[in-house]
Amino acid sequence: MSINTVRSVLYALAKLLGDVNAIQKGKIATRIGRRLAGKITGRLLGRLFR
């Protein structure tokens, strides 16, 4: 198993744990909004710096 595979699994696990934590705190809407904003920003920057 390569280091990249381990890293990917750990990042996915951290994302899942963040979702669980947000649900427990009742802040899932805020988390979803921030995740969408980050995704949109990342795509725009990706297009800008091709």
- 33-48: per-residue pLDDT in tens? 999 999 999 999 999 9
Question: Residues 3-35: pLDDT tens digits?
Answer: 999 999 999 999 999 999 999 999 999 999 999
| Non-local CB neighbours of 19 within 8 Å, separated by 6+ positions | 28, 31
Q: How far apart are CA 45 and CA 47, in angstroms?
A: 5
The model carries a pTM of 0.71
pLDDT confidence band for 1 (50 / 70 / 90): confident
DSSP state at residue 50? -
